[in-house]
Amino acid sequence: MAKIAINGGGMVGAALALGLAERHQVVLFDHATPSASEAQWDLRISSVSQGNLNWLARWQIEDLVDKHKCRDYQQLEIIDQRGQRLVCDAEDVAEARLGAMIENRALRHALWQRLPQNVTQVVGDPLQVWQPQQQLLTCQSGQQFPVDLLIGCDGARSWVAQQQDFAVVAEDYDQDCILALAKLPQAVSAKTWQQFRDEGPIALLPLTQNQVCLILYQRRQTVVRWGAEDSMADRVSDAFQPYLGQLSISQLASFPLRRQHARRYHVGAHTALAGDAAHTIHPMAGLGVNLGFHDARQLVASLNNGISEAALANYQRQCQRYNRKALALLDGLHRLNTGNGAERLLRPLQSAALTLLGQVPQMRKWFIRQALN
């Protein structure tokens, strides 16, 4: 039985450990053991697609997720600058839901609870040295682990990627994402929606009967000014009041947006990347963790018959092509909907596409199935 090390026990790393543990010994490294959710929602929330929830169901993960930190959604609505709308409904494809909004902390905690005995958990002892030729990992404490393969699931600033000089293609969007938790006086339906604007989209994620996560994308210079004026909460409220009316914001945070993609996902048969360590993407479509879970699923399948350079090359071939398409799609949508040049001339085509998807049931069903998976 091969031994595989995973650096990073976030949602993708923990799910990958579960999948690989069915055929391999696994060592999972992370800075801390995840704690249970607190009473209030955390701002870090993921829209997990039904396809990935189906994969996680093999370990009954949702049974362990705090029920107060998970909400199914049945509808997805997209609205462009011209007011054209597309509503996708799970009922159109005979499904109960399109996916679920889950607090990251609650999902990570549930995944760790399912880790089996053959997953060794190393917490609070960060990796310091990776010697792939000797197949030896050394931690800060001096503790050493002989392993056949090291997988980096350790985020955009991946330690594993740095050890093997993985080259990346990167671009700063010059845009920040503002997240806010808000309560509304009225009930919220199980629908997530996104409205495109010249400054950047705004979006709503339903969390409870009257609580939502509001997302606003804005040019960085503007966000910096709002921060200096201490007016960010007011600005978010102003952006959403035409759609929601009065709202009360309880938490607020922002982070810069950056696109990054590794030129390769593995080195030989000894080192590989997955999730944000391999790619980061504009979050407007909620694809981040879903692409990470897709990586994990493909990596588990590729390593079913053992660790080899050919197996990792197959993983790279399957996922890099898939992720490159997603990155290109979201880059295109970002430029189309925020650009000031020739991109604006193409917006009528976007409206026409939304109209066509809305009016042709078979095309809409195809679109929904893509979103599900």
Question: Tens digits of per-residue pLDDT, 149-188?
Answer: 999 999 999 999 999 999 999 989 899 999 999 999 999 9
Residue 73 has pLDDT above 90, yes or no: yes
**Mean pLDDT to the nearest integer, 29-56:** 94
**Mean pLDDT to the nearest integer, 318-342:** 83
Bridge partners for 254 per DSSP: 178
| Between 315 and 359, residue with greater pLDDT | 315
Residue 340 has pLDDT above 80, yes or no: no
Helix (H) or strand (E) holding 50: helix 50-56
**SS3 category, 283:** helix
pLDDT of residue 329: 82
**Mean pLDDT to the nearest integer, 135-140:** 97
Cα–Cα separations (whole angstroms), residue 113 to 33, 59, 119, 125: 10, 10, 11, 20
Instruction: Kindly report, as residue ranges, where domains of CATH 3.50.50.60 are found in the chain.
Output: 3-34+42-170+259-372
Structure tokens at 358: 């809305």
**Mean pLDDT to the nearest integer, 21-38:** 94
CATH superfamily of 3-34+42-170+259-372: FAD/NAD(P)-binding domain (3.50.50.60)
Cα-trace Rg, the chain: 21
**Strand pairing report for 191-195 and 75-79:** parallel
pLDDT of residue 241: 92
Residue 221 has pLDDT above 90, yes or no: yes
Instruction: Render pLDDT for 222-241 as a digit per residue (tens, 0 to 9).
Output: 999 998 888 899 999 999 99
CB-based contact 49:29 (threshold 8 Å):
no
pLDDT of residue 190: 96
Which residue, 82, 66, 106, 146, is CA-closest to 337?
82
Instruction: Kindly report, as residue ranges, where domains of CATH 3.30.9.10 are found in the chain.
Output: 173-252
Residue 345 has pLDDT above 80, yes or no: no
pTM beyond 0.85, yes or no: yes
Domain 173-252 adopts which CATH fold?
D-Amino Acid Oxidase; Chain A, domain 2 (3.30.9)
Question: For the chain, what is the mean pLDDT?
Answer: 93
pLDDT of residue 342: 67
Residue 335 has pLDDT above 90, yes or no: no
pLDDT band at 3, cuts 50/70/90?
Answer: very high
Helix (H) or strand (E) holding 315: helix 309-338
Residue 89 has pLDDT above 70, yes or no: yes
pLDDT of residue 229: 85
How is residue 167 annotated by DSSP? -
pLDDT band at 363, cuts 50/70/90?
Answer: confident
Cα–Cα separations (whole angstroms), residue 146 to 5, 31, 129, 131, 132: 9, 20, 12, 10, 10
To the nearest whole percent, how much of the chain has pLDDT over 90?
77
Which residue, 66, 87, 73, is CA-closest to 205?
73
pLDDT of residue 358: 85
CA separation for the pair 185, 158 (Å, rounded): 42
pLDDT band at 2, cuts 50/70/90?
Answer: confident
Q: What is the DSSP string of 337-353?
A: HH-SSGGGGGHHHHHHH
Identify each DSSP E strand in the chain by its residue range.
3-7, 25-30, 45-49, 70-73, 75-79, 85-89, 99-103, 119-123, 127-131, 136-139, 144-146, 149-152, 168-183, 191-195, 202-206, 211-219, 248-262, 266-267, 271-273, 279-280
**Mean pLDDT to the nearest integer, 30-44:** 91
**Mean pLDDT to the nearest integer, 1-17:** 95
**Mean pLDDT to the nearest integer, 185-211:** 93
Instruction: Render pLDDT for 238-293 as a digit per residue (tens, 0 to 9).
Output: 999 999 999 999 999 999 999 999 999 999 999 999 999 999 998 877 888 999 99
